[in-house]
Amino acid sequence: MSLDFPRQKLGHFPTPIEYLKNISNHLNGPQIYIKRDDCTGLATGGNKTRKLEYLIPDAIKNKATLVVTVGAVQSNHARQTAAACAILNLKCLIVLEKRLIDAPKVYNNSANIFLDKLLGAEIIYCPEERDVKEFAEEIIEKRRIDGEIPYFIPVGGSNEIGELGYVECMREIIQETKNYKFTHIIVASGSGGTHSGSIVGKIYYKYNANIIGISVKDKKIDQEEKVLNLATKCCDYIKCAYPKREEILVFDDYVGKGYGIPTEGMREAVNLLAKKEAILLDPVYSGKSFNGLVDLINKKYFKDTDRVLFIHTGGAVSLHAYEWAFESSFF
C-alpha cells in the first residue's frame, strides 16, 4: 500500500535499476547494482526531486507565494528547488553558503549556480560569519513584512515531509526487483533525508536489507544521531514503527577535510565509474559514497554472494565547477 499524502509529479519514475557488470567483475566481490536517481529528469535530475514531490504540495497547501531554501554554492537541492518552483509558478529564493573559501572563480559562477539563475531563482549569499539558517530566517521575516507568504524548505529538503520521497522509493525498488532482493543498499548521507527516508521505507514496506550511509559531511556518531532523529519524526508522521538504533549505520571515513572538499578517493571513484560504466558521479555526494562502497568491497565487508544497490543521487552537473579538482596538482 503506497503512502496517501499529496504528491506533485515532477520527475520520471520509476528510475531504472542497472546491473554494473564491468564494475562487479573489476572489483571481484558482490554483485553491484545502481539505482539511477540521477535520471529523475527535473533540470538534470537527482534525489531531491523525490523530496520536492511532497514538499511543493505542502507549500501550495500553505498558500505560499515564495519558496525559500538554503544550501552550499554548488547545491543540487537548490537547483532542483528552483526548477520545481518554475514549473509551479512559485517564486524561489536560495540562500547560499560559501563553504569552499579558496575555490577557483569557476566554482562560484558555473554549473548549478548558472542553472539556478537560468531557472529564475533569486540568489542571496550568506555572510561568512553568519549561520545560514538564522540568516535565511531574517530574510524570510523581511519578505513576510513585504507581503510575501514564504515557505521554508530545510537544507537538502530533509524533514518528515521530504523524507516521504525515499519511503516511496523503497516501494519502487521492491516493485522493480520482484525476482531478487538486495542484501545491502548504499546511500550518501549528508542532510540525512535520503538515508532516513530509505530506513523508514524499509520498515514501512517490510524490506529486509541493510541500509548503509556514507557520510559526506559529519562524524559517524553525529550523522547517525541526525538520521535517527529524522527517521523517528517521519515514522511519527506516517504512523509506523520506529527504527532500532542498530539499524542506523554510517561510515565517515570518506569525508576528507569536509563537505564539498575534494578527496583523492572521490576522484578515483568518479574516474572508475565513468571509464567502466559510462556513468557520471558528482564530486560532493555520489563520488564520495561510491568511494566508500569500493573501499568496503576491497576490505571484504560484503560476501561474494551479496547483492548491493548503490543509490545514485545525481549532481553530475557540478563536475563542471570541479574540473580543477581532477588535476593531479591539486592533490
Residues taking part in catalysis = 75
User: Whole-angstrom Cα distance, residue 194 to residue 189?
Assistant: 7
- Per the CB < 8 A criterion, the answer to whether 17 and 65 are in contact is no
User: How far apart are alpha carbons 130 and 139 in whole angstroms?
Assistant: 13
The set of cell numbers assigned to 65 is 507565494
CA distance 163 to 161: 5
Query: Distance between alpha carbon 200 and the CA centroid of its chain, in Å?
Result: 16
Which one-letter amino acid corresponds to residue 151? Y
Q: d(Cα 187, Cα 309) in Å, to the nearest integer?
A: 9
* 157, 59 Cβ separation under 8 angstroms: no
At 91, list the grid cell: 517564486
CA pseudo-torsion sign 179, 20, 286, 264: positive
Compute φ and ψ for 186, nearest 5 degrees: -110, 130
Instruction: Find the largest Cα–Cα distance for the chain.
Output: 61
Contacting residues for 184 by C-beta, under 8 A, at least 6 apart: 30, 209, 210, 211, 212, 302, 306, 307, 308, 309
Cell numbers of 61, please? 497547501
293 close to 34: Cβ distance less than 8 angstroms: no
| Element counts in the chain: helices (H) and strands (E) | 11, 10
Place of cell 565513468: 274
CA distance 268 to 148: 46
DSSP 68: E
